[in-house]
Amino acid sequence: MGEIKSTLELVMEKAKKIDISQEEKEGFKREEYLSKAKGMVNRYLNGNLNITGLMKELDSYDGKARKIITESVISELVHTVALSLDNERSLEMIGRILQTDKVKPLSDSINALYRDFNDEKEKKKERIEDETRKSLRGMGIFGSAVQPLVSHDQRWHQTLTSLTSKYEARLAKLKEELSGLASSLTYM
């Protein structure tokens, strides 16, 4: 009588017959490296890994693995740069990895853009609050308890959209320059 095989045994027999091309193996390896890079960046940005630790992890790789992981770390860090966030940690790490004096002026420009955006946003918000208070006062509604909800005001949404669009375009150019610096990296 024949032997009864488990599903696992049948699957394993079929898996032995499947050949994976070199290209597919490299693709799997690349995905593994990209995943490692994302993990490093997440731990760094969350404060669970400091600059020295991240650099040590990068240094533990060499050749093609180091190139892929380093480029991916930089790409992830550049991607995290935003108008709504303090970008200091991301920019500091990018500068440390790239080790070029070209990063500092870009980093300074991004930080200035962040400050300018938030300053202008706050001024516009205050202006809309004042206009709303004046409008309410004209209707006989006033006092220290009157706090206009600018977040519900259509003018605020339009102003914020316009302001964000203007600054995002400038930020995109700076991020593109940072990414360009990363493509000039040399590896050992």
Give me the mean pLDDT over the 138-158 stretch: 90
Q: How confident is the model at residue 5 (pLDDT cuts 50, 70, 90)?
A: low
Considering only residues 2 and 134, tell me which one the structure prediction assigns the higher pLDDT: 134
Judged against a pLDDT cut of 90, whether residue 174 lies above it is answered with yes
Q: What is the mean pLDDT of the chain?
A: 89
Residue 179 has pLDDT above 50, yes or no: yes
Helical (H) or strand (E) element with 145? none
Mean pLDDT of 75-83: 95
9 pLDDT band, cuts 50/70/90, is confident
Lowest mean per-residue pLDDT among 20-24, 41-45, 95-99, 130-134: 20-24
Global confidence as pTM: 0.77
Q: Write the secondary structure of the chain as one string of H (helix), E (strand) and C (coil).
A: CCCCCCHHHHHHHHHHHCCCCHHHHHHHHHHHHHHHHHHHHHHHHCCCCCHHHHHHHHHCCCHHHHHHHHHHHHHHHHHHCCCCCCCHHHHHHHHHHHCCCCHHHHHHHHHHHHHHHHHHHHHHHHHHHHHHHHHHHHCCCCCCCCCCCHHHCHHHHHHHHHHHHHHHHHHHHHHHHHHHHHCCCCCC
1 pLDDT exceeds 60? no
**Position with higher pLDDT, 6 vs 47:** 47
Please give the average per-residue pLDDT across 97-124, as a whole number: 95
4-9 mean pLDDT: 73
Q: pLDDT at position 160, please? A: 96
Q: How confident is the model at residue 188 (pLDDT cuts 50, 70, 90)?
A: very low
pLDDT of 103 over the 70 cut: yes
Percent share of the chain, pLDDT over 90: 69
